[in-house]
Amino acid sequence: MSHPMNVCHIIAGFYPGYAAPFEYTRALAAEGISTDVICIGKEEEPVRQTIDGVSVFRPVTSTTDFLTSTSFSRFIWTVSRHLRTSHYDIVHVYAFRGCGTLPLLNAGSAEAWVIDIRTGSTSSKAPVANFLYRQECRPYDRVVALDEKVGKLVLGENWAFSVVPLGANFDHFVPGTNVDLRHKYNIDDADVVLAFTGRFNNPLRTPEKIIEAFAFAVEREPSLKLMLLGDGQLVPQLRGLAEELSVDERIVWTGEVAYQQVVQYLHAADMALAYVPCSPQFDLQPPLKTAEYLACGLPTVATATQGNQRFITHGENGLLADDTPTGLGEMIVLLARDAALRQTFAAVARQSVRHYHWQTIVHDKLLPVYEQLLNDR
């Protein structure tokens, strides 16, 4: 190339928001790549902003990053209007409903188009859903997926794609302590704090099992406290369950915590919970939270999904459990009672996921995809 590479990432969601687009783009900018983002904005956010060298454009605002059909259409139209006045080497689109129209409407706006698959369908409607996913992919020059199994689930065995995995920001998620935050939430020195990060919006993720598992565990190990980082429409229901099970006083409900602030809360924890339902819908996805916990050196109890097993080896850097309240609760009790085991896991946790550093992933996985596409033009 005779000029520095310039790329645009299109996200039908907030930025900062979902960690992968945020970290990929920041890592690209750190590599000297001219990086733009087009995304959805919150009402209080500026339309244009520069974040860590990334130029962010928020042409559409919303109260939620879950868009209606009308909002998707408006987003596509607004993005297209911007693209027609620009030219990029690469436009990288995180798959969303209708995104297959973008390369068709704006063919001259980029040298190459990349579509990014973050998930696939395993429900009873999976064949239809994944067929529609494939149709969105057809106008693109390259498909990337966060995992080989997810890519094959959506695309089948005969469609070429590149794997660009999830990771953790090892410069941000580091081991540490936060005594002040423990004091703020009346956490005693003798308390063993179990942290969980996530959104509580999707009933299919069965977040009530977190409360039920904790109730099982704290009955057997009263020193436990649960810190729940996140918000969502299911929180009132979960609070009601906690009160019903008489464990609400042992739970810290932080509400929504900005992505950049999560690490401060993890520093107040003694161990972490990587709960993902052991169901076909969620089994394959590698949970970002698990890599971030380990990067912070937190001993972790995780459900034994295929995604979690990408990061956790049972008995080496954490514990794996089934997703029943009893099975999960037993592993929580085991780790909470054994300070020596927690220290053993903490000593190896960070190194065990070191190759999942976002900067390494972008340098070794994503940039070669871009470079190959441009070299093939």
Nearest to 118 by CA among 73, 164, 65, 159: 164
**Cα–Cα distance list, 322 to 175, 294, 355 (Å):** 27, 20, 27
Amino acid at 149: K
User: Do 365 and 165 form a contact (C-beta atoms < 8 A)?
Assistant: yes
| Interatomic CA distance for residues 204 and 375, integer angstroms | 43
In this predicted structure, the answer to whether residue 320 has a pLDDT above a threshold of 70 is: yes
Each as own residue / partner, the long-range contacts of residues 107-113 (CB below 8 Å, 24 or more positions apart, any chain) are 109/83, 109/84, 110/8, 110/83, 111/373, 111/374, 111/377, 112/141, 112/142, 112/370, 112/373, 112/374, 112/377, 113/139, 113/140, 113/141, 113/142
Average pLDDT, the chain: 93
Residue 231: per-residue pLDDT: 93
| Interatomic CA distance for residues 331 and 310, integer angstroms | 19
Which is higher by pLDDT, 176 or 97?
176
| Interatomic CA distance for residues 202 and 186, integer angstroms | 30
Q: How far is CA 53 from the centre of its chain?
A: 22
In this predicted structure, the answer to whether residue 117 has a pLDDT above a threshold of 70 is: yes
Determine whether 141 is exposed, middle or buried from the number of CB atoms within 10 Å of its CB (0-12, 13-18, 19+). Answer: middle
Mean pLDDT along residues 257-271: 95
Residue 132: per-residue pLDDT: 86
Render pLDDT for 21-41 as a digit per residue (tens, 0 to 9).
999 999 999 999 999 999 999
Mean pLDDT along residues 349-353: 96
**Partner residues linked to 192 by β-bridges:** 224
Residue 267: per-residue pLDDT: 98
Mean pLDDT along residues 186-200: 96
* Structural domains of the chain, with CATH: 6-167+357-375 (3.40.50.2000), 179-355 (3.40.50.2000)
Mean pLDDT along residues 257-265: 93
Helix or strand or coil: residue 290? helix
Nearest to 181 by CA among 167, 195, 169: 195
pTM value > 0.85: no
